[in-house]
Amino acid sequence: MAPLLRLAQLRARSGDGRRFLRLRRNAYADEMWFAAANERDRLIAHSSAALMRLAGDPVMSHETAALLHGLPTLGMRHRAVLHATRTRRHQGLAPDYPGLLVHHAGLPDGHRCTVDGVPATCVARTVIDLARRRSVRAGIVVADAALHAQLCTVEELRLVSADCAAWPGIAKARRVIALADSLSESPLESISRVAFQVHGLPTPRLQARLGDDRVDFLWDRWRVIGEADGLEKYADPLAIAREKEREERLKGLGFAIVRWMWREAYRRPDELSDRVRATLARAGWRP
């Protein structure tokens, strides 16, 4: 990442013909570098500029820390605002930091790390912060991803939650820890599991093997398969043909198959759960 310049440094280089972009008060980046930078490098630059404005030994946190760690978050609204956490509350009126939401909370040393030069909450603390403040399914999305990528462990999540035992939302975070599963391979699979749990369906087995095939969800007892289909499955005609052959093979073994895509799981989890419930009921399940 190109180094950020303060105003005094910028003035000292005013004659070299380069143009600089103001990222935040008293924080500037080379305009040509910024125009060519990828989304992650821009996030790093904006995060570094934000931290330059804050006293109190701050770190990037919440959705911003999740993005720095490469973790998915549910929804898009977080991209318009950076999140930082610091431990010290200042006297008097809080300063206005446009595009920056400053949280105040404890930051034990074990909750801090550095990501590409940017101070941030560690992965486990990031998961717990999001699980406390956002919905259960938003928490599950980031927790599943962190566990699947082996960026943290369930024990680390429990330890951080113990450090935050009296904080708002910690009961919800503990529920997220209990539901999180490292076998979940996508946000679509994560929010689908939450829908099944909320609507009282039996817990499926994840990434189950059936001969040479692997399925997203399997209710063994009732021989029902659930497939959460991302759009990439339908981008290649050959992939579509292979998937059709696979489905016919599984049906030939006596399995019923329920398929769904992102829009249904995200927008209408009740309808998705009703479809799965009906399939399970036809196979003999009784609540």
d(CA 122, CA 113): 5
pLDDT, residue 199, reads 97
Q: Each residue of 244-278: pLDDT tens digit?
A: 888 899 999 999 999 999 999 999 999 999 999 99
Residue 44 belongs to some domain of the structure: yes
pLDDT, residue 28, reads 74
Range of the domain at 213: 190-282
Residue 256 belongs to some domain of the structure: yes
Residue 7 belongs to some domain of the structure: no
Query: Looking at 158, 182, 206, which one is the last position of a domain?
Result: 182
pLDDT, residue 184, reads 97
Query: Are both 266 and 172 inside the same structural domain?
Result: no
Query: Looking at 182, 211, 233, which one is the last position of a domain?
Result: 182
Looking up residue 221, the CATH number of its domain turns out to be: 3.40.960.10
Query: Are both 69 and 150 inside the same structural domain?
Result: yes
Q: What are all long-range contacts of 202-207, with beta carbons under 8 Å and residues at least 24 apart? A: 202/280, 202/285, 206/181, 207/183
Residue 24 belongs to some domain of the structure: no
Query: Angle formed by the axes of helices 170-179 and 154-163, to 10°?
Result: 170
Residue 85 belongs to some domain of the structure: yes
Query: Are both 261 and 141 inside the same structural domain?
Result: no
What is the tally of structural domains in the chain?
2
Query: Are both 177 and 200 inside the same structural domain?
Result: no
Query: Are both 61 and 82 inside the same structural domain?
Result: yes
**3 state SS of 109:** helix
Query: Are both 61 and 139 inside the same structural domain?
Result: yes
Query: Are both 44 and 151 inside the same structural domain?
Result: yes
pLDDT tens digits for the chain (287 residues)? 557 867 666 666 666 667 777 788 777 777 787 888 899 989 999 999 999 888 888 999 999 999 999 999 998 655 678 999 998 665 544 566 788 999 999 999 999 999 999 999 999 999 999 999 999 999 999 999 999 999 999 999 999 999 999 999 999 999 999 999 999 999 999 999 999 999 999 999 999 999 989 999 999 999 999 999 865 556 677 777 888 888 899 999 999 999 999 999 999 999 999 999 999 999 999 98
Query: Looking at 145, 161, 182, which one is the last position of a domain?
Result: 182
Alpha carbon of residue 260 to chain centroid: 21
Query: Are both 117 and 145 inside the same structural domain?
Result: yes
